[in-house]
Structure 1
Amino acid sequence: MIEVSLPEEIIQFKRWELVNYRYEIETKARNKGIYVLRGKNDKVLYVGKSIRLYKRLTDHTTGRGESQRFSHLIEDITVYFVAEDYEIDIYESFAINFFQPKFNRDKVFYRKVDETIIIEYDEACELLDEKVSERNSLKEERKRLTPTFDVDDTLVDSEERDHYLLGEFLRLTTCIDELDVEIQKLRDKCKKLSLLLDV
C-alpha cells in the first residue's frame, strides 16, 4: 500500500493576511502547491492546487468563478508547497480525501451516503409505484365507463343512468390527470435522489 502524507513546507494565515504573504507564496517552490481553505471552527471548505498559488488564492478570496459559492465563508488558509509538478495532483487527491471538504466535487472518494437520502429515495419510489398502480386502476375503471357518443357528441341512449356514467367518466379523467402530475413530480424527485446515491 502506498502511504502519502501532506508536504511539510507550509504556511498558515488568516484570509485578510493573504496580501502580506504574497512574496513568500510566490517565491517558495516557485509558487506551486496545494491549499486548504477553512471556515468557522476550522471546518475545511475547499482543497485545491495551483502552479500560480497567489493568483488562485486571490480568486478564491474575492469570489471569482466557482468560489462565489463559498468565498464569503473563508477564514483561514493553509498553503502546502510542492516542488514537483507531478506531485501536485497526488497531494491534492490525498488532501481532498483526508480533509473531506464541503465544496469539492472532483477527486472525492470519501463521501458516504446520508441515511436520510436513502430513506427518502425508498419512500419516494414506493409512493411512485403506488400512484402508478392507482392511476392504472382508474384507467381500467374509466374504460368500462366510457360512454358512447354519436357524431354530434350527443350521448347515445341518453337516459339518466348514462348521465351518471358520463359524470363518473369525467371524475375519473380528472383524477387520472391529477395523478399524472403527481407521478411526474415523484419521478423527478426519484431521479434527483438517485443522482445523489449514484443508483
Structure 2
Amino acid sequence: MIIIGSVRPGRIGLPVAHWVRDRVEAAGHEVDLVDLVELNLPFMDEPEHPAKRAYTKPHTIAWSARVQQADAVLLVSPEYNHSYSPALKNALDFLMLEWQGKPVGVVSYGGGSGGLRGAAALDAVLTTIGLVRVPVDVAINFPHAHVAEGVFTPDPKHDATLTKMVEALGRYAEALTPLRAL
C-alpha cells in the first residue's frame, strides 16, 4: 500500500507517488495506491477508540478492510512546518490494530531537508500504532525541480535508494507475517 500524504491542490506528492508506484510494481509487487484526496476521510468521527474496532461508519469500515489487506505500507509524505500533514495523521489515527506488525517506509519530500524532519516527526506515531519502520529513507530535496508536465523524474540516487527500500519492505513483510495475525 502506498499512501499519498498530501491533499493540497497542486501537490507534488501525486507525481512522486506515481514514480514510487511504478518502481514498486516493476519490482513485482501489487500496489494499492491510496490518494487521501479520494479517500476523503472526515476528521475522526468514530465514537469508539480504534483499538476496539467497533466501527460504525462505512468510510471507516472500508478503510479498515483496505489497510488490513496490505502487507507493507509506503508513505509519500511532505514536510509541513517541520512535521507531516494533518491529513496523513488523520488517516493513520482512524485505525490501530490494522497497522500492527506491518513494515513501513517513508519517501519524504521538501525543501533543503528533503522532508526528513517531517519523516522523523512521524516516527512516534508509526511506532505507537505498531508499524515497523525499515531503516531506509528516500528524501527528495526541492522536488519541484524534478517535475515537468506532471511527471517526476528522480535522480539516480533516488531510484537506487527506493530500490533498497522496496527490498527491505519485502524482507520485513515476510519476517513480520506472524505478528500480523489479529
TM-score band by shorter chain is: under 0.3
Q: Relative CO higher for 1 or 2, CA cutoff 8 Å, sep ≥ 6? A: 2
From the CA coordinates, give the structure whose radius of gyration is larger: 1
Normalized per residue, the structure richer in helix is 1
Scaled by the length of structure 1, the TM-score of the pair is: 0.21
Scaled by the length of structure 2, the TM-score of the pair is: 0.23
